Chains A and B, each alone.
Chain A
Amino acid sequence: MKTTDSNNVQNERVTPPFRSPVTPDEGELSENELWLNMGPQHPSTHGVLRVVLKMEGEIIREARPDVGYLHRGVEKLAENRTYSQFNILTDRNDYLASMLNNWAYCLSVEKLLGVRAPERAEYLRVIVGELNRIASHLVFIGTFGIDIGAFTPFLYAFGREREMVLDLFERLCGARLTYNYIRIGGVMADLPDGWGDQARSFIPHMRRCLKEYDDLLTYNPIFLDRTKGIGAIPKDKAVSYGLSGPNLRASGVSTDLRKDEPYGIYDRFQFKPAVGTTGDTWDRYFVRRLEIEESLNIVEQALNSLPEGDILAKGQRPTVRPPVGESYAQIEGARGWLGIYLVSDGTERPYRLHVRGPSFINLTILQEMLKGWKIADVVAILGSLDVVLGEVDR
C-alpha cells in the first residue's frame, strides 16, 4: 500500500473506530439544544484540541474539552533515555519556549547532582530564557490577533520581530525552534562575535514595535469590543483552579517565581511582574504585552553585567549518573510554573520523570469559563489562555 501517487489509492481504515469519552450523546439534549464539535482540526484551537459544545442557539451551555491528540508519551520515553538525551525531548514539549523547558529540566538534574552552573552560564541562561519568553509572547500576540480577526499583527509580531529573535538564536546554537542550548551544568556554546551588539540593537527596536502594536491592536476599538469583559476569571477561582503565569497575574494575583523564589540569578535584576485587574480576555493579552517590556529590561541588565568565565561546570561530562534520590525544580515558564520532577535510581537513566505543564493546568478552567458565552467568544477565550498542545498532551 506504500505508494507515492496519492491520487490513485483508496485509503483503508487502519485504526479501529475510536470512541472518545467526551463523544456527545443525543439523548442528553433537551429541546432547542444541539451538540457542536470544534476541532481537532480547527484553525483557532492552536493545535489539536477538541472541544465539544452544547449549544442553545448561540449560547454555550456546556463545554467538554478533549485532549490527548498530541500525546507522545515523553514521560515514559524518559525512562529509556539517558539524562543528556532527554534534554532534546524537553525542547519539544512546549515548542514555543524551548529554552525555558531546557532550563527547568537542567535545573532539576543539577539539583540531583549537586552541580551549579558557572556565573557566565547563569547570565547566558537568563538572556536566552527571556528572549525566548519574548518570542513566545510574540507568537501569542500574532495568533491571538488572527483569532479575533486582525491579520496584520501576525505579520508584524510573528513574521518580523520574532524572526529577529530567532536569528539571534540561530547564530548562537544553529537551530530556529528546538535549541537544546541549555545543558546540564551550563550552556552549549559561548556567544559568537558581535552577538551582544545584535541583541542590544534588538531591544530598542522591540520597544518601538510595542508602541506600534498598541496602535494596531491593543487599543483598537474592535479588538476592545471583542475582548473587554469577556471570559473574566475572578481572583479566587484562578487560584483554586491552580492557574499560573500570565493567566493568574491577569486576575490580579501578583505571583512570579522569578520574584518569589528566585532561581538562578534572578534576584540580581530589577523588574516588576505585570499584573492585571479584572482577569478578562483583554487583561490576559495586556499582561503578556507588558511582560515583553519587563523581559527586555532583564535582557538589557544581563547583557550589561555579563561576566567573563567558563560556560560549563568544571569536569561536567555528558553522561551523568546522579545518586539515588528525587528532585523537583520549577521555573517561571512563558505560560506559568513549569516544573520537572525526577526520581533517580542511581543509573544513567531517570527512573521516573514528570512534567508539570502549565498549559495543561491552565486549560482545566476552560470548561467552567465557556459556560454562558456566545459561540464567537470561544476562540477569544481559548486563544487568551495561550495553551500549547505539545505541553498539554506531552
Chain B
Amino acid sequence: MGIITEKLPHVCEHVPGGGVFLTSVDYFINWTRQSSVWPLTFGLACCAIEMMSAYAARFDFDRFGVIPRPTPRQADLLIISGTVTKKMAPVIVKLHQQMPLPRFVISMGACSNCGGPYYDSYSVVKGVDKILPVDIYIPGCPPRPEALMNAVLELHKKIGKMSLADRVNP
C-alpha cells in the first residue's frame, strides 16, 4: 500500500489522460477497502453486547465483510461501544494510534456520543470526540444491531469518496 500511495501520483503525471487512470485506481482501492472493514474486538459497556449481537447468527455482520480482529495492528475500524471513563481514555487513544492508516472511528451509543445517561458523572468523558476524531455517530442507548449495520454502510459510502490524491498525512 505504501508503494502505491507514494509512487502513484508521480506515475500519473506521465500518462496522458492520467485523471481517468487515477479515478479507476481510486475506485478499485476504495472497493477493496469497503469490502473488508475490520473492526477491533473491543467492547466497553452495554453497547458492546449489542455489537456482539451484530456479529452473531441472526444479524451476521460477516455479510458486509466485517470480521472482528483482536489486535489494533490489523484493524481499520474502532467501534467505541460504551461509556468512556477518564481511566480508560488514555488506553483508547493509544489503541487508536496503534491502528494503521487509514483508520475510522464509529461512536456507538449515547455514552460515547455525549456521555448519555452519565452526562453529569465525575468519572465519565462526555463524548469520545473529546479525545478522538469520530467518523460516524450512532444514536441510541443501546443502538440496535441494525443501526450499527447502517453505520457501517454509511462508512462504505464515505470510503467510496476517498481519493489517494487527497492524502495529506499518509
Partners in one complex: yes
A18, A41, A48, A72: which contacts B118 (Cβ < 8 A)? A72
* Cross-chain contact of B124 among A73, A160, A163 (Cβ < 8 A): A73
Q: 29 A-B pairs, CB-CB below 8 angstroms?
A: A2-B133, A4-B134, A7-B169, A9-B133, A11-B97, A11-B131, A14-B89, A15-B86, A40-B91, A41-B40, A41-B42, A41-B91, A43-B70, A47-B43, A47-B45, A48-B43, A72-B118, A72-B124, A73-B123, A77-B121, A139-B49, A155-B56, A158-B57, A159-B53, A159-B56, A159-B57, A163-B56, A176-B142, A389-B45
A201 within 8 A of partner (CB): no
Min CB gap B34→A, angstroms:
15
Tell me the nearest residue of chain B to A88, going by C-beta.
Answer: B117
Q: Is the interface of B mostly helix, strand, loop or mixed?
A: loop
Give the chain A neighbours of B59 by CB distance below 8 A: 159
Q: B30-52, CB under 8 A of A: which get 1 and which 0?
A: 00000000001111111011101
What's the minimum C-beta distance from A375 to chain B, rounded to whole angstroms?
Answer: 16
Residue interface bits A1-42, CB-to-B below 8 A is 1, else 0: 011111111110111011000000000000000000000110
Cβ-based interface call for A263 (8 A) = no
Please state if A72 and B85 are interface contacts (CB–CB under 8 Å): yes
Known contacts A73-B123, A96-B49; is A155 also within 8 Å of B57 by CB? yes
- Whether B120 lies near A77 (C-beta < 8 A) is yes
Q: Check if B168 is an interface residue, CB within 8 A of chain A.
A: yes
Q: Is the CB of B58 within 8 A of A92?
A: no
Is A390's CB under 8 angstroms from B56's CB? no
Specify which of B86, B88, B93 is in contact with A48 (CB 8 Å cutoff). B88
Among B11-19, B21-29, B100-108, which stretch is in contact with chain A?
B100-108
Is A2 a contact of B129 with CB atoms below 8 Å?
yes
Is there contact, CB below 8 Å, between A178 and B87? no
- Contact A178/B141 with A18-B90, A43-B41, A47-B48 known, Cβ cut-off 8 Å: yes
Can you add 16 more A-B contacts, CB < 8 Å, to A48-B43, A70-B85? Answer: A3-B133, A6-B132, A6-B133, A7-B101, A7-B169, A11-B96, A11-B131, A40-B91, A41-B91, A47-B45, A69-B87, A70-B82, A92-B46, A92-B117, A95-B46, A176-B144
Chain B residue contacts of A47, Cβ below 8 A: 43-45, 48
Q: Which residues of B contact A (CB under 8 A)?
A: 40-46, 48-50, 52-53, 56-59, 70, 72, 82-83, 85-91, 93, 95-97, 101-105, 117-118, 120-124, 129-135, 141-142, 144, 167-169
How big is chain A's contact interface, by range? 35 or more
Interface residues of A (CB under 8 A from B): 2-11, 13-15, 17-18, 40-41, 43, 47-48, 68-74, 76-77, 80, 88-89, 92, 95-96, 139, 142, 154-156, 158-160, 163, 176-178, 389-390
| B41 and A390 form a contact (CB under 8 A) | no
Chain B, residue nearest A66 (CB): B87
Asked whether, in the complex, the Cβ of B46 is within 8 Å of the Cβ of A14, the reply is: no
Cβ of B64 to closest chain A Cβ, rounded Å: 16
A70 touches B168 (CB 8 A): no
Given contacts A70-B83, A88-B117, whether A11 and B132 have CB atoms under 8 Å apart is: yes
Once A72-B85, A72-B124, A158-B56 are accepted as A-B contacts, the answer to whether A95 and B45 lie under 8 Å apart by CB is yes
- Which residues of B lie under 8 Å from residue A11 when comparing CB positions? 93, 96-97, 131-132
Q: How far is the CA of A155 from the CA of B85 in the complex (A)?
A: 31
Q: When the two chains form their complex, are residues A13 and B85 in contact, meaning their CB atoms are under 8 A apart?
A: no
**Which A residues lie within 8 Å of B117 (CB)?**
88-89, 92
CA distance A137 to B135 in the complex (A): 35
